[in-house]
Structure 1
Amino acid sequence: MRLGNSFSQIKPFELSAEVFPLTATTLSGFEEILAEELKSFGARDVEIGRRAVTFQGDLGFMYKANFRSRFALHILKPIKTFVAANEEAYYARIRSFAWEKLIKPEQTIAIRVALNSQTFRHSHFMAMKAKDAIVDRIRDKVGERPNVDTDNPDVPIHIFIHRELVTISLDSSGDSLHKRGYRQITGQAPLNEVLAAGIVELSEWDTTTPFYDGMCGSGTLAIEAAIKGLSMPPGIFRKQGYAFEKWSDFDADLYDKIVESSLERMSDIKLEIHASDMSSNVVSKAKKNVYNAELEDEIEVSHLDFFDLKPTGNRGTLVLNPPYGERMDKEDIDELYQKLGDAFKQNWKGHGCFVFSGNLEALKKVGLRSSSKKELFNGSIECRLARFDVYEGSRKHN
């Protein structure tokens, strides 16, 4: 089901509704694990869209989804849907909404528009038209108008246009939920935290066994593994808060209860997580991020070349995010990936070995038959998460 189709089924939002429609956005390839996560939280009427999951929830659930979700980027609260055949109709329908009931003149707004339309082609222009309609309405009703703040708005607004169907949502998250707050230092090509969390989930890591990241970079994969293993709410690190805290209906007592109950659900399981890298500079950054996350007891960070890394037991999960080759010769990158396959066969029998890479040709050089390949994206780079289960006599890839 495409995102436009799933949005088109949303019923108009009622300001007094106890249970209302919500939409969680995510990265391509994570829709199913996000849907399962939301169901585990107690979401109702869950439907999978394209880079999004729609569901029903109340105010407390909206707080919970923001605080606890490992795979969502934004939690949107749709408030108005309509069909607009042209820019004039688009402006008029937005202006007709009672924005003065949601936004005070002293508050700031920002508008983000996503398009999948032949009628409307320029997202920036449509955002400007929507801004004009909103501030004109509020000025007409109360005599003053809100200002725009694209960096830290009080009320971020999301508009999705599918063909001529327009869905307007309040963004309850504000800053993207991938901005956890623990990662203050990054390397050259850091993984988005939600991307790392999804990779860990797709690895189907058994948390009673060791987890290894032998090319750890800034440590994001290992930290997200610990968050999974401890059932830790990612919102525990978030210093900038959420947009819903500035809404007129914000219930601070309810939010505090959500936070308290989420923390009570954390596990005290003993985890074995190993993060290592051949670069001492990178290892230093990873150690600082692990320290920021207060996960030193769960994650061992070592200065070690992957090809010198050995597992501590007979079972476990290894996840690698090797270079894609942007700063390496083709011969060198091919040799690196070939050596990965050799290392898997020599040292990692009985383990699930995963390689996340944006170099699809180099992946073929691993020389082992992958048991699965999941299409994902690292920014705009098309990637694969390839799984290699290594046993005695593992077959080569043809």
Structure 2
Amino acid sequence: MEIREARAGVMFRGDVGMCYRSCLWLRTAIRIRQRLASGFLQGGHVGDELYQMTRDLVPWADVLGGTDATFSVDATAARNPDVRNTTIIKTRVRDAICDAVRDTTGLRPAPPTGVADVPLHVSVYGPEVVFWRDLSGTSLHKRGYRSVVHKAALNEVAAAGILQLAGWDEICAQADDAVLVDPMCGSGTFLVEAAMMAARQPPGLWRADWPFLRWPDADQVVWRAELDRAKELAHAGKRDSRHVIVGSEIHPGAVALARECASRAGAGNVAIRHGNCVSWRLPRAPDVIVTNPPWGRRLHDERGARRGHEDENEALAGAWRDLASFFREQCGGSRAYILSGNKDVTRHLRMKAAQRHPLTLGSVDCRLIEYYILPPKRD
């Protein structure tokens, strides 16, 4: 299989089975798209060029499979001063597809009422235009185990990527009884994703809808084989997993959500306690700690903290001091990976970082900070 890094993603080439496996197994992908065609704008009227390019490059009646299939168009644009927003892209591409299908079949495709049968994406980067069709339709972070999304919950895909940066998959491969701890687990995203990785659970197994199954070139036999194989591996992984994933959370509402998510995901090896981590006693030091403590938007502005935020700032500082105490008392010899978007709060740990991984989550610049926790001093 050919794999290469691309702008904001990874390109790979494979057969239809590989395509279906990627939908079931990729943990850190937001979307999986199939490239249909590409072309270059020549500097004329953008709307007219997009319209004609759309009609010329792709046999849309074949892609849609007839007028009964619905489609949607999403778009992104960058580094092209002639494209000030994506509305013109979506409008002109949609018009061109409808006209092309009408000219071929005599009928225009109906608009979608929900997730379209064929979700399309058009990316414009400089003069280059690329047409894609989206296999998932909706973001792959929607695993299916959340019934309610906590307002501060970490995206599932981001959590899986952070766990990989922390080496959790490698730790699980080296030891069949590895321990992961999240002392401020919130609604449990790290815990559930860690359990799924440890037990080799396909993250796409719970998704109820895959648009590609409604495509005219869908291979139902290959899909059924890949799905059955994924279920077999998931069953075996859950049966054999002896890894321990534990968390603590001070807020009862978040604890309830975390336990519900773990239950819906079938993560039986996840345990979540209600309480402050500072009073938590572990039976053994964990192999790795991964956590996303509260860090607020900003602890201070340039003029200092305003009066209305003093209590919040002190609470943040106290939470990080509690985390430091937990590390010293319970986690000697372990490595900790802490996500933070506020450099001012991390100083309350009073620990030296071994490494910082820059991350952008949404529009927030964050750091995944790695610490080595010194073992306790011997008397």
- Normalised by the length of structure 2, the TM-score is 0.87
Q: What does residue 285 of structure 2 align with?
A: 314
Give 4+ residue runs of structure 1 displaced > 3 Å after superposition: none
| 1:290 equivalenced with 2:262 (yes/no) | yes
| Structure 1, gaps ≥5 residues long | 1-43
Q: What does residue 3 of structure 1 align with?
A: none
Partners of 2:73 and 2:164 lie apart in 1 by: 32
Residue 393 of structure 1 and its aligned partner are, at CA, apart by 8.0
Residue 265 of structure 1 and its aligned partner are, at CA, apart by 3.0
Contact 2:21–2:226 under 8 Å retained in 1: yes
Q: Could you tell me which amino acid in structure 2 is paired with residue 193 of structure 1? A: E
Q: What does residue 209 of structure 1 align with?
A: 178
Partners of 1:150 and 1:388 lie apart in 2 by: 49
Structure 1 residues 315, 221: closer, same or farther in 2, change over 3 A? closer
Residue 142 of structure 1 and its aligned partner are, at CA, apart by 0.9
Partners of 1:139 and 1:280 lie apart in 2 by: 57
Partners of 1:83 and 1:242 lie apart in 2 by: 31
- What secondary structure, in the 3-state scheme, does the structure 1 residue paired with 2:67 have? coil
1:122 to 65, 79, 85: 85
Partners of 1:74 and 1:311 lie apart in 2 by: 38
Contact 1:110–1:150 under 8 Å retained in 2: no
Contact 2:321–2:348 under 8 Å retained in 1: yes
| 1:82 equivalenced with 2:50 (yes/no) | no
Q: Could you tell me which amino acid in structure 2 is paired with residue 170 of structure 1? A: R
| 1:265 equivalenced with 2:237 (yes/no) | no
Q: Could you tell me which amino acid in structure 2 is paired with residue 276 of structure 1? A: S
Q: Could you tell me which amino acid in structure 2 is paired with residue 133 of structure 1? A: A
Partners of 1:112 and 1:366 lie apart in 2 by: 44
* 1:1-398 correspondence runs (5 A): 44-84=1-41, 85=43, 86-96=46-56, 97-103=58-64, 104-116=66-78, 117-149=80-112, 151-205=114-168, 206-207=171-172, 208-239=177-208, 241-266=209-234, 267=237, 268-295=240-267, 297-326=268-297, 329-392=312-375
Partners of 2:316 and 2:285 lie apart in 1 by: 29
Identity %: 28
Residue 70 of structure 1 and its aligned partner are, at CA, apart by 0.7
Q: Could you tell me which amino acid in structure 2 is paired with residue 287 of structure 1? A: R
Contact 1:357–1:383 under 8 Å retained in 2: yes
Structure 1 residues 356, 150: closer, same or farther in 2, change over 3 A? farther
Q: How many residues align?
A: 349
Q: What does residue 40 of structure 1 align with?
A: none
- What secondary structure, in the 3-state scheme, does the structure 2 residue paired with 1:71 have? coil
Contact 1:273–1:300 under 8 Å retained in 2: yes
Contact 1:160–1:168 under 8 Å retained in 2: yes
Provide, for residues 133-177 of structure 1, a one-character-per-residue CA deviation record: whole Å limited to 9, x for no partner: 111111111111113337411110011111010000111111111
Partners of 1:388 and 1:148 lie apart in 2 by: 52
Residue 335 of structure 1 and its aligned partner are, at CA, apart by 3.5
Residue 109 of structure 1 and its aligned partner are, at CA, apart by 1.1
Contact 1:214–1:275 under 8 Å retained in 2: yes
Contact 1:175–1:242 under 8 Å retained in 2: no
Range moving further from structure 2, 374-383 or 247-256: 374-383
Contact 2:143–2:204 under 8 Å retained in 1: yes
- What secondary structure, in the 3-state scheme, does the structure 1 residue paired with 2:295 have? coil
Q: What is the alpha-carbon root mean square deviation over aligned residues?
A: 1.8
Contact 1:356–1:383 under 8 Å retained in 2: yes
Range moving further from structure 2, 158-167 or 360-369: 360-369
- What secondary structure, in the 3-state scheme, does the structure 1 residue paired with 2:138 have? coil
- Normalised by the length of structure 1, the TM-score is 0.83
For the pair shown, which has the larger CA radius of gyration, 1 or 2?
A: 2
Partners of 1:275 and 1:238 lie apart in 2 by: 26
- What secondary structure, in the 3-state scheme, does the structure 2 residue paired with 1:371 have? strand
